[in-house]
């Protein structure tokens, strides 16, 4: 009864807070618009053939997840956020080699605004390229026949406009709603596909397998929640903040086990889909034989479940380390501690503190990245080993979905706490 009362109290607090209520309604409206757009078809693409293609192909599964689960429906938002995510990856990676972009990354809010503009501009040509590649791939698989120039321009324009609108909606959610906009839209597409998976499992699996599927799914969700919430508290003390009794006042720095959240998974999936698309495009009959042979080899390797899982495993780990030190900067934290006359007990301020924090973040990133990578490939391995016929959601989809839900929950709780503090002022 106490759990029910606590939930009722929490919901009452949320409903009475106008700011939270407005953000929730805004987010829901954007998601509703996204789902409506996901029902607007692109002319010239047969839906039944496309669904069969996605059901039989690992390539189709990769593209579907990155698009937010709408590519197999051949709608105007079919390519989803993939061009925007790829543009973000390119801009962030260029920051390591292009001094101008590196300077912008260090300029705070103003620098981020310029980089966001570059990302938006780069999204458009990438969306056009991906639309053309998808047309070529679908044509090679015999899903669509050759189009007239006007029809092809219409298809490319529709898909590109849908990608740009998705990018805009994601940014609107990030600014005025809850959660990261891109992640939330992808999670919405994943959640929308769960009822269909449940129905299919109920029709095809035995009672024993259904129970096993439910148990495994519950355990995986619990594990993802636990690791996502886990953190190490690094103790710090403030030399100048002295109580009446005399000793220094202590606090802590929370270092999350998974600092990067779900972004490494999204980045890895998106980056894997891009070379696969390009390779598929270069397997046409008009392509020179050497390039076509190399492209066919790339496609064969990436469609091999074992190779794909190994690449996904490695890329999630790489992006986890990369994104951990994008989110958490040991040098900046050490500098701020020194300015505030704070220190970690037993560690000298300055460079030694920076090295200590970097080493701590590195050790946590090892565990967190391995967990993300294992969860991402586990459902596929279970299916390959015959343990389960079909999971409700892929490992990468589970990580994205749970991570986004926890992020929204954290933001709502933070706003409730802030409101309770303000009531005493």
Rounded Cα distance between 63 and 78, Å, is 9
- Identify the bridge partners of residue 19 per DSSP, sorted by sequence position: none
Q: Which domain holds residue 150?
A: 2-422
Rounded Cα distance between 214 and 87, Å, is 37
- What are the distances in angstroms from CA 332 to CA 311, 325, 358? 33, 11, 11
Number of Cβ within a 10 Å radius of residue 109? 6
- What are the distances in angstroms from CA 366 to CA 98, 317, 362? 28, 8, 6
Of 66, 64, 60, the closest CA to residue 81 belongs to 66
Rounded Cα distance between 399 and 393, Å, is 10
Rounded Cα distance between 303 and 293, Å, is 15
pLDDT value, residue 420: 62
pLDDT value, residue 361: 86
Rounded Cα distance between 143 and 153, Å, is 18
Number of Cβ within a 10 Å radius of residue 216? 17
Of 61, 174, 60, 65, the closest CA to residue 116 belongs to 174
Q: Judge residue 202's burial from the number of C-beta atoms within 10 Å of its C-beta, 0-12 exposed, 13-18 middle, 19 or more buried.
A: exposed
Kindly list the averaged pLDDT for each block of 10 residues, start to end, along the chain of length 425: 66 78 88 85 66 54 51 72 82 79 78 86 88 75 73 85 89 82 80 73 70 77 84 80 52 82 77 74 74 81 80 87 80 83 83 87 88 80 60 69 82 75 54
- Spacing of C-alpha 383 from chain mean position: 23
Q: What is the pTM of this model?
A: 0.72
Q: What is the CATH number of the domain that holds 115?
A: 1.10.3370.10
| 68 φψ region: left (φ > 0), alpha (ψ -120 to 50), beta (else) | left
Pairing of strands 248-256, 342-343: unpaired
Considering its fold, how many domains does the chain have in total?
Answer: 1
Rounded Cα distance between 262 and 316, Å, is 10
């Amino acid at each position: 009864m106490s759990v029910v009362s606590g939930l009722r109290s929490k919901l009452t607090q949320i409903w009475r807070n106008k700011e939270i209520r407005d953000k929730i309604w805004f987010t829901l409206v954007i998601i509703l618009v996204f789902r409506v757009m996901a029902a607007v078809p692109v002319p010239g693409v047969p839906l039944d053939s496309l669904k069969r293609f996605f059901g039989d192909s690992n390539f189709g599964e990769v593209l579907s997840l990155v698009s937010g689960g709408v590519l197999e429906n051949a709608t105007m938002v079919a390519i989803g956020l993939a061009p925007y995510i790829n543009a973000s990856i390119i801009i962030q990676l260029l920051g390591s080699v292009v001094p101008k972009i590196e300077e912008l990354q260090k300029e705070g809010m103003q620098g981020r605004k310029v980089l966001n503009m570059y990302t938006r501009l780069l999204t458009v040509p990438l969306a056009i390229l991906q639309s053309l590649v998808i047309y070529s791939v679908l044509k090679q698989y015999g899903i669509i026949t050759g189009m007239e120039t006007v029809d092809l321009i219409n298809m490319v324009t529709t898909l590109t406009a849908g990608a740009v609108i998705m990018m805009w909606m994601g940014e609107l959610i990030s600014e005025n709603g809850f959660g990261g906009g891109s992640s939330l839209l992808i999670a919405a597409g994943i959640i929308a596909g769960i009822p269909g998976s449940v129905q299919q499992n109920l029709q095809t699996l035995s009672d024993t397998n259904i129970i096993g599927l439910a148990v495994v799914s519950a355990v995986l969700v619990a594990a993802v929640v636990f690791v996502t919430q886990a953190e190490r508290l690094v103790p710090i003390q403030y030399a100048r903040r002295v109580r009446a009794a005399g000793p220094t006042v202590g606090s802590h720095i929370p270092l999350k086990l998974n600092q990067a959240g779900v972004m490494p998974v999204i980045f890895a999936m998106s980056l894997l889909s891009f070379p696969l698309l390009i390779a598929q495009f270069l397997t046409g009959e008009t392509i020179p034989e050497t390039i076509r042979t190399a492209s066919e080899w790339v496609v064969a390797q990436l469609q091999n479940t074992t190779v794909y899982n190994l690449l996904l495993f490695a890329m999630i780990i790489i992006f986890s380390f990369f994104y951990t030190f994008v989110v958490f900067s040991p040098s900046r934290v050490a500098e701020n501690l020194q300015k505030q006359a704070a220190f970690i007990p037993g560690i000298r301020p300055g460079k030694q503190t920076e090295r200590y924090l970097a080493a701590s973040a590195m050790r946590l990133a090892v565990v967190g990245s391995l967990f993300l990578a294992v969860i991402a490939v586990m459902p596929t391995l279970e299916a390959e080993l015959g343990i389960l016929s079909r999971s409700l959601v892929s490992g990468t989809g589970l990580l994205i979905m749970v991570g986004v839900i926890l992020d929204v929950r954290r933001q709502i709780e933070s706003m409730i706490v802030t409101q309770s503090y303000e009531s005493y002022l």
